[in-house]
Amino acid sequence: MQIDNTTYSDLSVFQTADEHSIFSKLDRTRTVGGRIQLLELFSHPYSRLDKIRQTQEILLIIQKYEDQWGPSISNGTVMVMERFYETPLDRIPAAHDPVSAGMYKLLHAPDYSLTRYSISHFADFIRGMFSITAIREKESCPPLLNSLLERAVRLLSPDPIHALAKKKQGDKLQPVEVVEYGNFIRDKFKSAALTLIEIHGKLDAWYSMAVASKEFNLVMPEIEDTEFPFIEIRALYHILLPKAVSYDVKMDPESNFIFMTGANMAGKSTFIKSVGSALFLAHLGMGVPAEKMKISLFDGILSNINVVDNLVKGESYFFNEVQRIRKTIVQISDKKKWLVLMDELFKGTNMQDAMKCSSTVIRGLIKIRSSLFILSTHLYEIGEELKQYHNICFKYFETRINNGQLEFPYQLKEGISNDRLGYLILERERVVELLDKL
């Protein structure tokens, strides 16, 4: 699936302030390597249905065997293993008889201590990997997972590795064992060990996705590879909101454009981002924040939400809005299946100009039935002229005024809102009062 940096930013997938990003909320990796692999997955959502479905299967298997998924492997363990190969040590003797082991311990005490300490972590890692690979005997694993586990089994096949795995955690190793395992791991197992660490990183990324899906009660969406795009979601909510109001969403080629109105703070932007982020998570193979979701396979998501000006280049806000719209039109002209999200088009110009520009863009975009569009706007006036187009659905978020106070039920309704509450908010925040006192 194609997603550009602007859309990643608009959907808050990756943010500078980590506490406000989808990635940081869902990151349950236990190792640095796992986090790197999770970043890679989030940076390249799948465009193939088979990989999405396999990932869904993998996450369900991990949820079923969560306690067996490498519980003895920590980030500290992996760090010790890597540093063991990076640290210069005097050569560990190949002979592991009592005399050789005793001499190595006596004459190379610091290296002996480091080797013994490292072996205990190698043992934890190996036991964890054996625990994960044993799942193959209980479950029919999808190819994405099975190929990794088969590779891990081959790398774990040497007899010394099996013997080390049988050691109980906390068992004290004898000098002969320290030398035997140390020599093998140092001289004969390095390539296999580093490859196993890499494999574990991928397994850890899937573990994170599975645990997060379970923790936040995310549901696995149904995804179909259809000719035209569609979205059917029941009780969708935004994953970053602690107390989110849910929405039902339905879009298809016959109603592929949502024209959404409502006052500021009524919920328009949140709705747009909810749909976009759920579609993104679905194409990772993860669960989504909804009761039920059924969608087509999409080729990409494009958004036009948080456009900014560029002082260095001397580009105005409006100019950058136009450039973003131009890029969107060029991109979706490929007739592939896109979800296009637009929030308050043409904020960088006056109202009359914005109305004319918005109407022109909308009338052009509705010709493209291979994509789905959600657009929010304050310019409710242009809604009337758009009612002639049967593929446009008109939705709005209601705002109520109770004893001079604004209430936002965040319920998506049919129709067009003509709420203009700017001056009321100005009064409520006592700005008018302060100005009168000047």
Q: Please give the average per-residue pLDDT across 287-299, as a whole number.
A: 97
Instruction: Using DSSP, state whether 59 is helix, strand or coil.
Output: helix
Residues with Cβ within 8 Å of residue 143, at least 6 apart in sequence: 54
Question: Per-residue confidence at 425, pLDDT binned at 50, 70, 90?
Answer: low
Domains 31-215 and 222-436 share a fold: no
Residue 427: predicted pLDDT: 66
Nearest alpha-carbon partner for 277 in 326, 239, 330, 332: 239
Residue 354: predicted pLDDT: 84
Q: Please give the average per-residue pLDDT across 401-426, as a whole number.
A: 71
| CATH 3.40.50.300 applies to domain 222-436 | yes
Q: Is the separation of the CB atoms in 276 and 303 below 8 Å?
A: yes
Region of residue 21 (phi > 0: left; psi between -120 and 50: alpha; otherwise: beta)? beta
Domain ranges of the chain: 31-215, 222-436
Q: Is the separation of the CB atoms in 397 and 412 below 8 Å?
A: yes
How far apart (Å, rounded) are the C-alpha atoms in residues 350 and 339?
28
Q: Are β-strands 400-402 and 392-397 bridged in parallel, bridged antiparallel, or unpaired?
A: unpaired
pLDDT tens digit sequence for 109-126: 999 999 999 999 999 999
What are the percentages of helix, strand and coil residues in the chain, rounded to 5? 50, 15, 35
pTM for this one?
0.90
Q: For the domain made up of 31-215, give the CATH fold.
A: MutS, DNA mismatch repair protein; Chain A, domain 3 (1.10.1420)
In the predicted model, is pLDDT for residue 424 greater than 80?
A: no
Transcribe 150-209 into DSSP letters: HHHHHHT-SHHHHHHHTSPTTPPPPHHHHHHHHHHHHHTSHHHHHHHHHHHHHHHHHHHH
How far apart (Å, rounded) are the C-alpha atoms in residues 191 and 210?
29
